[in-house]
Amino acid sequence: MNWQVYIILCSDNTLYTGITTDLQRRFGQHASGLGAKYFRGRQPVQIVYQESGHTRSSAGTRELEIKNLARIEKLTLISSGMNEITRTSL
């Protein structure tokens, strides 16, 4: 199964990192309040980073790596060639 690591820009300008096998479904869950507790009190604005081709294990490891980055490092990652999303607006 193809797991993806993603970063979502939130309404309070924070960056949320997660993993999924279906990014559009997961974004919809976050937007409707059925996703992570992190989205209580804030809304997902847009997906700003996507990295696919992971196993469940490697996606989880990569998620933790990204979560441990400073915000400036996450912004650098978002604008890097690793990002599979071509349009970002941060």
| Number of domains forming the structure of the chain | 1
Quote the tokens at residue 30: 């976050």
3-class DSSP state of 6: strand
Give domain status of residue 61, yes or no. Answer: yes
Residue 59 in domain: yes
**pLDDT of res. 1:** 80
Inside any domain, residue 88? no
Q: What is the arrangement of strands in the sheet containing 44-54, beginning at the earlier edge strand?
A: 15-20, 3-10, 44-54
Residue 51: CATH number of its domain: 3.40.1440.10
Range of the domain at 20: 3-78
pLDDT tens, N- to C-terminus, the chain (90 residues): 899 999 999 999 999 999 999 999 999 999 998 888 899 889 999 999 999 999 999 999 999 999 999 999 999 999 999 999 965 444
Q: What pLDDT shows up at residue 89?
A: 45
Domain assignment present for 90: no
| Residue 25 belongs to some domain of the structure | yes
Q: pLDDT at position 86, please?
A: 67
CA angle 49, 60, 84 (to 5 degrees): 20
- 17 within a domain of the structure (yes/no): yes
